[in-house]
């Protein structure tokens, strides 16, 4: 009699195949609903991170212009997705402190110049010119746009007093 009781106890504690299939089906449904949201979240984080990195690079160029008392050029190569900073110094062949970075390979970088004057150029590339007083030259581009492969974007726009750039809604 005790042997039968033990078998029935084991059956009551175990899962049936149908219960396991139902649980697996629920997990598949939940995962399929959550996956697109997670993908958008990760994509948005990459875009935001790159925009913040570019703004930080701009702040570094602006600080260098003020501390060295000489204009700094932040050039942008839209085709290769690179950007860099170099000093605008006449009479010297190069800048030993020049830096160059590249945007994430999944992003595109575009310069938006809406001003009436001729845009600031450095080696035939659009450029932002930070003056020694910490302001942005009036012929510099008004915005830089980062766009990912799905068309989502972040825009870095010039502040109203031309004291730098900030991330704004597209």
104: domain CATH number is 3.55.40.10
H/E/C letters for each residue in 51-119?
HHHHHHHHHHHHHHHHHHCCCEEEEEECCCCEEEEEECCCCCCCCCCCEEEECCCCEEEEEECCCCCCC
Domain-located, residue 40: no
Q: What is the pTM of this model?
A: 0.72
Per residue in 52-93, pLDDT (tens digit) is 999 999 999 999 999 999 999 999 999 999 999 999 876 556
Residue 155 lies inside a defined structural domain of this protein? yes
| Domains in the chain, number | 1
In a domain, 44, yes or no: no
Structural domain includes residue 39: no
Residue 89 lies in a domain: yes
pLDDT confidence of residue 2: 47
Classify residue 13: in a domain, yes or no: no
């Amino acid at each position: 009699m005790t042997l039968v009781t033990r078998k029935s106890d084991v059956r009551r504690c175990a899962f049936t195949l149908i219960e396991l299939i139902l649980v697996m089906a629920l997990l598949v449904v939940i995962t399929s609903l959550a996956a697109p949201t997670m993908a958008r979240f990760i994509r948005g984080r990459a875009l935001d991170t790159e925009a913040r990195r570019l703004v930080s690079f701009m702040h570094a160029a602006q600080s260098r212009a003020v501390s060295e008392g000489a204009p700094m050029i932040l050039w942008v190569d839209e085709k290769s997705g690179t950007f860099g900073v170099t000093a605008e110094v006449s009479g010297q062949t190069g800048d030993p402190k020049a830096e160059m970075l590249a945007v994430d390979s999944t992003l595109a970088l575009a310069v938006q110049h809406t001003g009436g004057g001729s845009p600031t150029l450095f080696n035939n590339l659009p450029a932002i010119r930070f003056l020694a007083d910490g302001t942005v030259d009036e012929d510099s581009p008004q915005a830089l746009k980062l766009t990912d492969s799905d068309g989502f974007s972040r825009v870095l726009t010039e502040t109203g007093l031309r004291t730098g750039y900030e991330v704004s809604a597209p």
